[in-house]
Amino acid sequence: MNEIRTRFAPSPTGFMHIGNLRTALYAYLFAKKNNGRFILRIEDTDQERLVDNAVAAIYNTLKLAGLSHDEGPDTGGEYGPYVQSERKSIYNEYAGKLIDSKHAYHCFCTKERLETLVDSSGNRKYDKHCLYLDKEEIESQIAAGTPYVIRQNVPETGTVTFSDLVFGNITVENRELHDNVLIKSDGFPTYNFANVIDDHLMKISHVFRGMEYISSTPNYNLLYEAFGWEIPQYVHLPHIMKDRQHKLSKRHGDANFEDFLEKGFLPDAILNYVALLGWNPKNEIEKFSLNELIESFEISGISKSSAVFDEVKLRWLNAQYVKELSAQEFHLSAEKYYADIPVEINTILLSRLLQTRVSTVSDIPDMTGFISNFENYDISLFNHKDSKSTAETAKNILPVIIAELEKIDCWDNDVLFNACIRISEQSGVKKKALLWIIRVALTGHLSTPGGASEMCVLLGKNLSVKRLKYSLSRLENGM
RNA sequence: GGCCUGUUCGUCUAUCGGUUAGGACGUAAGAUUCUCAAUCUUGAAAGAGGGGUUCAAUUCCCCUACGGGCUACCA
């Protein structure tokens, strides 16, 4: 069996889309699973759509995702160059061969003439007008400098059948196919030509790409046949959708890998989630490391239907990864959200409290708002059904709490918690209600990253007592 | 419009003719907890519709409906 070689062939037209990332992932997983090689090829043949830094974004994403390529523009390899714009002469050479064998031809038609070919439903199919030009005519046009393209000469009858590892056999009538442009008038090849040449020359065994290419695959097979080349295995992938109707797209925003990182998601979690969108591992495991994905990956697990991207589930998965971070790792990534936290707050402790409570680190500002934003909270928060707490009991018990806590010098969680229990027993106010009251009086928030005593420790004695007194005064004034 | 393709809980999916249609996220209820979260338990929740084939169809075939893709000198 020949070596397995897969490739990821993005065009540098912007940030790395999450669907592209998944295509890269599957190609990578398949190569690694089979001791093959994973190649990066940059498809920059559309000179008009190139975006600055897009190539850098591709490298960066691949690096962060841990998908390292064995061959590529930066790493080299024996089948380079790996950038299509540097392979122009190669494409022209092969286009020449196709012309010689009548599988392709020069076309001098103007845009205006092409537009006259539009049918009633708004489509147009090239009528092979230039296929019938005689040799002298072609040579004189070229000599005169008339712009031209090179088109594929598709047979007018018969059918093409190709086999796809995901979708099975697909057969199309040749007459449905178009005489695609192979070489544009600027001398660059189209994707429709370059991908065939490169995949063959780079000895790609399995072509992973989005299913939007299914329609044009018959054209590619015709090209492989014209050259007498072996046809690679095709693995067309279903799309990732924003919702049932819409593909996940740049227009909707947040569809880029880097955007998700910005939102606090961990690269491993994103990769794990995306791997499971459209592929199932034949077991019920949800969490996979990259190595585990390599172990489990099978093309037979890829589904045919498109999948809706569910950020809620991504958040859940991310939370699993966050919990597994070491305390130091979590603290390091949490720190950048601590800009507004006063220096007297122990952020190490804060991180410890936060780690099990956030799905992504970007949840932190919402959860720590009570630290710098306390006054004028809604005192109806003291009324809580489940804990049987009311503003009235709060007003009555708060003076006792303040007096007791002021006596404590060892400001430690266990000590404070025991003190709370004692107050509860002595006062007859239920433990749950008492803790609720303390926590609200301390934070002014419904939800906090810890219980009453933990909030005391976090805020420190001075601030805690100060806040309890402030809350009491508000209760006494009924506001 | 034509061609290609898809359709199981809200979402991601399992089932390769015979299952109480399974799991996960989310959701509901309960347990636990020092609030919230985490954790645990339990529940609700699905085969687009219609024809066939078959002793038996979610599963195979056909039609319809609905989605998606392609129909560029974009990829």
pLDDT tens digit string along A298-317? 999 999 999 999 999 999 99
Strands, DSSP E only, in A79-179?
104-107, 149-152, 159-164, 168-173
The per-residue DSSP string of A232-260 comes to PEEEEEPPEESSSS-B--GGGS--BHHHH
Strands, DSSP E only, in A139-193?
149-152, 159-164, 168-173, 181-183
Q: Which helix (H) or strand (E) holds A61?
A: helix A54-65
Average pLDDT over residues A325-354: 92
Q: How far is it, in rounded angstroms, from Cα A103 to Cα A223?
A: 8
What residue segments make up the domains of chain A, in order of their start?
A: 5-73+194-239, 89-183, 250-328, 374-476
Terminal CA-to-CA distance of chain A, rounded, Å?
Answer: 80
Amino acid making up residue A423 = I
Task: Enter the pTM of the model.
Answer: 0.94
Q: How far is it, in rounded angstroms, from Cα A329 to Cα A378?
A: 36
Report yes or no: A43 and A188 within 8 Å, Cβ to Cβ: no
> Nearest residue (Cα to C1') for B1?
A121
Q: Of the candidates A102, A66, A82, A58, which has an alpha carbon nearest to the alpha carbon of residue A5? A: A82
pLDDT in tens, A189-240: 999 999 999 999 999 999 999 999 999 999 999 999 999 999 999 999 999 9
Which residues in range 303-342 of chain A are in contact with strand B, contact meaning CB within 7 A of any of its atoms? 303-308, 310, 312-313, 316, 319, 323
Coil vs helix vs strand at A162: strand
* ipTM given for this complex: 0.95
* Strand B contacted by A287 CB (< 7 A): no
Q: Kindly report the number of other CB atoms within 10 A of residue A476's CB atom.
A: 11
Quick one: fold of A89-183? Glutamyl-tRNA Synthetase; domain 3 (3.90.800)
Pair of tokens at residue A222: 């015709």
Top-confidence residue, A454 or A120: A454
Specify the CATH number of the domain A250-328: 1.10.1160.10
* Strand B contacted by A411 CB (< 7 A): no
Specify the CATH number of the domain A374-476: 1.10.10.350
Protein-proximal nucleotides of chain B (any atom < 7 Å from a CB): 1-8, 10-15, 22-26, 33-38, 67-75
Tell me, what's the pLDDT at A23?
A: 97
Q: Which helix (H) or strand (E) holds A83?
A: none
Radius of gyration of chain A (CA): 32
Give the active site residue among A97, A125, A250, A431.
A250
The answer to which of A9-23, A127-141, A275-289, A380-394 has the lowest mean pLDDT is: A380-394
Choices 3.40.50.1820, 3.40.50.620, 3.40.109.10, 3.40.50.300: CATH for A5-73+194-239: 3.40.50.620
Phi and psi for A362 in degrees, rounded to 5? -75, -5
What residues are paired with A83 via a beta bridge?
A42
- Mean pLDDT score across all residues of chain A: 93
Query: Helical H runs in A172-285?
Result: 191-201, 217-227, 257-262, 267-275
Report yes or no: A167 and A304 within 8 Å, Cβ to Cβ: yes
Average pLDDT over residues A106-121: 88
The β-bridge relationship of strands A181-183 and A149-152 is antiparallel
Tell me, what's the pLDDT at A414?
A: 87
Pair of tokens at residue A468: 């309890």
Average pLDDT over residues A461-469: 93
